[in-house]
Structure 1
């Protein structure tokens, strides 16, 4: 994970100091205080993250009643169109329009679910970076590197959230809904800038974003296992994070703790082992395949819902493809968290797979695949997307209620509700 990506835990920055030096002792006292605060904040110092993120965002107008109404109407129309293309009822219970700062506040709980397992494991591994002589001097703060990690990860998250907040168009553009369950939220300011860059009417861009947002909410509402499936892949990756012992001495040799800017010269990506384990590779494969299938399904149902009703649909879908290919919010998020490079070719293959499945089995047969993770296409199926519809004709004869019951009874499929911002969403 490099320093050029949003959540990269990259750049932190002589000889180890003399522990008997009064300046060092004073620094240690200050460090203990700082670390105590960071340790109490958990694996990521979210207060620091939010402060940094908000400080980096440029000034933005508040969202007024007119914009709230525009968003509500766009989502209402999007849901109406989707009714003809999706076999499930709407997953939207309310709508909202967010500023960039509101996006940060409303999605905080979901970012904790995504990032904390990784940060916690890195914090555990970082404890080995404390030299023995310093550990003795720190006493009860011997796990000081946990605090260092909490502060560093908070700083990195703050920078990342600011960058993403300036780009995201909706609550679900990173690949899953980040706000409260059932709340379809758009960012009018970002949509206006995006539409201007495309030289397209903002009304049509807003409707297209609303279609993708509403479609994603339907999917996650009815595939109840999907969120925990994604989080499980991230947790599986996190469990294998470890330290490259040979890199510790080299990394620490150039660090001068008396220099406040030293943290900018230590590259932690050289300390954490860069070669993924087999378990991590399997987790990344599962994560990448699932994200591609989500994006491909949304592409398919949105195109079917729109039909000929939106004149600019081809340009909008091409712009969305270019956005993914050049590193959109979803690509930035998962590359930064776990080094996963989302392959645009996989999304194209997933789109083709869902289109073929719709032609072969209809909407009901396509949606039945989402009833349980065991029914989902594999990474191998994406290499031959047109063949998935005919691989197992027995799928049509399965009693899908059995899988629905499995999903209901599986405690892992029921997560705490994401998002717990202070803003109340506007009712749809």
Structure 2
């Protein structure tokens, strides 16, 4: 270029245009294509009341932020060996047979999310459908004429709101659960024990106990859950239907929704998160809902109480650290551990730990009065189980259940009173000794 030719910035030359990523561009540094692609996916969801595509992506982002290494062959083999030992111990603590002869499942956090997602869809969608329907009722009368078009928009918005909330909850839960039955419900494949080694290590990090003991104790709990759900096939449907009944009985505060629909900036993630955290989607309790909640609380308490009694009987004679691990589990639950907190967020209900301790007392008393097989016999049918009132008088219920007029094991499908579901004869009058029991007879 000659000196006579105008150069950049010379007088008389038009100012140079700034590149799109220049300092004055407010979108500099953002991948606008990705942002608009995500928005399009969010608002094009047509798959139901929850945008599961958004939920899964949100959950996986949370998992990636906390770290989620792939499991090694050695880690998977270690889980398999631990589960085999746990099943051997449980054979002497319960007459219910092992749920599966196959290998145990060792999952990392992303695998836990993928493996439990079908169960979460069954649990959460009834609640979401109810709230999305309430959002339509919250619209002002003048909007009613827009009909199906507006309903579609509300479904998309509601799906996005629930997708964000569910994704956050599942992502957090995936970083803390130790198996597939932490909340008392079977979330994974039927009959297959699941352990999450990274979360087991995190659970045991502050206990100052051998890592092998922690892993084995948690495997005992997972395997005991799986045995129960396998032996009582009606139980899963019973629990899930209670959740659905709870959702059907809800009354949503439409005035809060009506106010929120007009004030939330859906393009602002912070505003949406604040609304969700502030209880935007929390329903009001009704008598019908309270009845369903009581039914669900009692059923979950009975499951957890039975597991507590069985695992205490199996572990205490062999594992000196068992009482400390039992107390760690109890404290985690009583403090509203991660499973309970996330269950509240996702399904809208809270499980009271007090009922679980009462249920453990019921099962321990039944074991003392009826033996192991007599305790397990009550799982033959939901009508045989203790009620909420029975949990208030655990030992009294055990005494009443021991009466021939109250129950006849021969009528429950077993060949004879001394024979359990697995056909292990002669164990009906024998239970584990008094190891692992407190002064008041309750399971520690």
State the TM-score bracket (shorter-chain normalisation): 0.7 to 0.9
Query: Are positions 1:81 and 2:89 aligned together?
Result: yes
SS in 1 for 2:194: strand
> Is the contact between residue 372 and residue 403 of structure 1 (CA under 8 Å) also seen in structure 2?
no
Higher relative contact order (CA 8 A, sep 6+): 1
Normalised to the residue count of structure 1, the TM-score between the two structures is: 0.81
Distance 1:333 1:164, change over 3 A: same
> Is the contact between residue 175 and residue 330 of structure 1 (CA under 8 Å) also seen in structure 2?
no
Q: CA deviation at 1:127?
A: 1.4
Q: Which moved more, 1:337-346 or 1:84-93?
A: 337-346
Q: CA deviation at 1:263?
A: 3.0
Query: Are positions 1:60 and 2:37 aligned together?
Result: no
> Is the contact between residue 374 and residue 409 of structure 2 (CA under 8 Å) also seen in structure 1?
no
Distance 1:305 1:120, change over 3 A: same
CA distance in 2, matches of 1:142, 1:176: 34
Q: CA deviation at 1:140?
A: 2.5
* Residue equivalent to 2:380: 371
* Residue equivalent to 2:24: none
CA distance in 2, matches of 1:177, 1:248: 33
Partner of residue 235 from structure 1, selected from 231, 244, 253: 244
CA distance in 2, matches of 1:380, 1:35: 47
Partner of residue 181 from structure 1, selected from 177, 190, 195: 190
Gaps of 5+ in 1: 1-29, 405-428
Trace 1:217-296 onto structure 2 (pairs within 5 A). 217-252=226-261, 254-255=263-264, 262-264=271-273, 266=275, 274-296=283-305
Q: CA deviation at 1:320?
A: 0.5
CA distance in 2, matches of 1:206, 1:310: 12
Distance 1:356 1:243, change over 3 A: closer
CA distance in 2, matches of 1:296, 1:227: 16
Query: Are positions 1:397 and 2:404 aligned together?
Result: no
* Residue equivalent to 2:199: 190
Spell out, residue by residue over 1:235-271, the C-alpha distance to the aligned partner (whole angstroms, 9 max, x if none): 1111123333444554445445676654345469766
Spell out, residue by residue over 1:192-229, the C-alpha distance to the aligned partner (whole angstroms, 9 max, x if none): 12222211111110000110011000000011111111
Q: Which moved more, 1:126-135 or 1:57-66?
A: 126-135
Gaps of 5+ in 2: 1-36, 416-444
SS in 1 for 2:206: helix
SS in 1 for 2:104: strand
Q: Which moved more, 1:236-245 or 1:282-291?
A: 236-245
Q: Which moved more, 1:49-58 or 1:122-131?
A: 122-131
Partner of residue 152 from structure 1, selected from 155, 161, 173: 161
Normalised to the residue count of structure 2, the TM-score between the two structures is: 0.78
Aligned length in residues: 375
* Residue equivalent to 1:121: 130
* Residue equivalent to 1:12: none
Q: CA deviation at 1:285?
A: 0.3
Distance 1:396 1:125, change over 3 A: same
Distance 1:301 1:340, change over 3 A: same
Q: CA deviation at 1:307?
A: 3.4
CA distance in 1, matches of 2:339, 2:274: 28
Spell out, residue by residue over 1:374-402, the C-alpha distance to the aligned partner (whole angstroms, 9 max, x if none): 01001111111111111241244254336
Q: Which has the higher helix share?
A: 1
> Is the contact between residue 239 and residue 296 of structure 2 (CA under 8 Å) also seen in structure 1?
yes
CA distance in 1, matches of 2:38, 2:58: 20
Distance 1:49 1:35, change over 3 A: closer
* Residue equivalent to 2:396: 387
